[in-house]
Structure 1
Amino acid sequence: MHVETVVAESWDHLQHELFADSWNEDLRRFRSRVAFRGLSDSSYRLETTLMRMGGPFAELERHMLRNFKKYAHRNVVEADSLWHWLSVAQHYGLPTRVMDWTYSPFVAMHFATGDLEKFDRDGAIWSVNYVKAHERLPRRLREWVEQEGANVLTVELLSDVVNSLHELDTLDSEKVLIFFEPPSIDDRIVNQYAFCSVMSDPRLVLDDWLCTHPGIARKIVIPAALKWEVRDKLDQANINERVLFPGLDGLSRWLKRHYSPRR
């Protein structure tokens, strides 16, 4: 089985595909229930930073997280839970099984078109319906979601059910995908409208899981020939590094890209 793939033919077509199925008849409002992730190269897989380490990465995960907790200042987390520590570790660059997503299709477009070195190849935006994904959660987690009337779990809710990597690994006989909102550690998370996912099996590439669960995800390809138009219009809409990465590093990255000549 394959994930549905659509190739954007224009800026307008791209908008149409990104906002498809966002109408909520119950609310009579446009309220998308989709997680977006932008990739500068459409051939990239949905691999975690932990996977990209190579070697026995699944066995090393708990050792890295244990030592991160040991050496990090305790005041960097709001609560001493697996999910707070995973969120902070991912945010500061430790390889983890966590994957970053955004509620914003425009933020995803930024990440698909932000690397000028990749403008000679197609980009892509993955969209995953997190409500449909959560229909496959174990019963006790589904009950928490339904009880709270939430679509995405919080770190506090998850901590009540799963609070160790071992518990996460053995969560259910079927491998599951969990979306959760990390604590607002800094303005970067807020400005990027960010949230996260984890697989209960750290070895399972998300592409493979999505292929075996049709109807949950779509892949929208941005052809290389369309990237410059998308990039320029995002900059005009103030979707850029200066906003998404507040601080001098984001400002410098934006200015470098903004003033780079078109090749």
Structure 2
Amino acid sequence: MSIEEIAVRSIGDLAREVKALTAPGQHWLFRGQADGRWMLSPSVHRGYTPQQERYLTNEFRVRARSRYYSCPMSNDYPGWLALMQHYGLPTRLLDWTYSPLVACFFALHPDYVPPTSAPDRDACIWVLDARRLNESQGFEPLIFPLDASSYEPLIEPAFKNRKELNTVGVAMAIEHDPRIQLQQGAFTIHSSRTPIDAMDGADQWLRKLVIPNVDIPPLFEELTLLGIRKYSLFPDLAALTSELRAIHAPSNG
């Protein structure tokens, strides 16, 4: 079966669809994407070989300590992977959030639209039934922290030449940074190179909320009016500066 797609044109539409999904025992996660055609695959699986992945992770570990003073212990691979993801290194983690509004922000904010994107693109919010995905991959139908022992076989091959399980797991982010707390973060860990939306049974754990191109500007304005802004999700001066420059453009006079 194909993955269900539903058009979302306003915050009211989004709230209605989220409410319709809500049921006891379910844990939905959300991911906003600026282009609805992108598949659900982590950055290191977009053109990097397994050898390149190990090169990236191990060189980062060797060189990070002189630049960052709260590095994980050497064998804390989940901690290292989360740190790498946080600072933009290509990893096998894919970011999700418990908040549909946060996901909507990342789908709509102009800063997350690549220059090569088509001007007539639709945005989207992916909705993931985390427990059902975990169960389909042979894990318990629960969401454990990223450093849970059951996820070690998914993470270690990013650092060592180990056999891949070829599965995907859903993990809670460990709140080592205020940004993760504010963005209500979670991850999928990808040992498999098959995008989640192309896996067998994907229609059982995925929904796709499509934001038509014409509705992107007014929906982004609604988000802004509700206080979902860059500086409220990224508690640093760079985000504050970026947002203030966007709000207060120079006058022609």
**Does the alignment reach a TM-score above 0.5?**
yes
When the two chains are superposed, the root-mean-square deviation of aligned CA atoms in Å is 2.6
Q: Distance in 2 between matches of 1:258 and 1:17?
A: 30
Q: State the partner residue of 2:58.
A: 66
5+ residue gaps, structure 2? none
Moved more, 109-118 or 33-42: 109-118
Note the alpha carbon deviations across 1:176-212, whole angstroms, 9 max, x for none. 22111232221111110111111222x2222212x54
Are the equivalent residues in 2 in contact too, given 1:41–1:122 (CA < 8 A)? Answer: yes
TM-aligned CA deviation for residue 19 of structure 1: 3.1
- Maintained 8 Å contact 1:120/1:224: yes
Match of 2:8 in 1: 8
**1:214 counterpart SS class:** helix
Letter in 1 for 2:168: L
Provide the C-alpha distance between the structure 1 equivalents of 2:226 and 2:31, rounded to a whole number of angstroms.
19
| Counterpart for residue 245 of structure 2 | 256
CA distance in structure 2 between the partners assigned to 1:258 and 1:36 by the alignment: 27
TM-score, normalisation: structure 2: 0.83
Deviation for aligned residue 1:44: 1.9
Give the 3 Å change call, closer, same or farther, for CA 104–92 of structure 1 in structure 2: same
Residue 167 (structure 2) aligns with: 176
Q: 1:222 aligns with which of 190, 211, 223?
A: 211
Shift in CA distance, 164/181, structure 1 to aligned 2, threshold 3 Å: same
1: CA distance, partners of 2:133 / 2:151: 20
Corresponding residue to 2:196 among 182, 206, 209: 206
- Residue by residue over 1:88-109, the C-alpha shift from the partner in whole angstroms, topping out at 9 and shown as x without a partner, is 1111111111111100000001
8 Å Cα contact 1:81-1:159 kept in structure 2: no
What secondary structure sits across from 2:43 in the alignment? coil
Q: Is the 8 A contact 2:42 2:190 kept in 1?
A: no
For residues 131 and 256 of structure 1, do their structure 2 counterparts lie closer, same or farther at Cα, with a shift above 3 Å needed?
A: same
Tell me the distance in 2 between the aligned counterparts of 1:247 and 1:33: 30
Contact 1:82 1:159 in 2 (8 A): no
Secondary structure, in 3 states, of the residue corresponding to 2:169?
strand
| SS of 1:83 mapped into structure 2 | helix
- Where do 1:14-53 residues align within 5 Å? 14-24=14-24, 33-52=27-46
**Residues 207 and 167 (structure 1 numbering): CA distance in 2 closer, same or farther, change over 3 Å?**
farther
> What is the aligned-residue identity percentage?
28
Deviations 1:8-42, CA, capped at 9 Å, x for gaps: 24432222113322132x7xxxxx51110001111
- The structural deviation recorded for 1:125 is 0.2
Distance 2:105 2:164 in 1: 36
Deviation at 1:79, TM superposition (A): 7.2
Preserved CA contact (<8 Å) 1:168 1:200: no
1:97 partnered with 2:117: no
Corresponding residue number in structure 2 for 1:137? 137
Shift of 1:3: 1.3
2:74 and 2:21 map into 1 onto residues whose CA distance is 37
- Note the alpha carbon deviations across 1:94-129, whole angstroms, 9 max, x for none: 111111110000000101110176775311000010
The SS at the match of 2:194 is coil
Match for residue 197 of structure 1 among 188, 209, 212: 188
Relative to structure 1, the CA distance from residue 127 to residue 13 in structure 2 (aligned partners, 3 Å threshold; closer, same or farther) is same
Question: Where in structure 2 are the equivalents of 1:108-123 lying within 5 Å?
Answer: 108-115=103-110, 120-123=120-123
Contact kept in structure 2, 1:128 and 1:216, CA below 8 Å: yes
- 2:52 is the alignment partner of 1:57: no
Output the CA distance in 2 between the equivalents of 1:161 and 1:58: 17
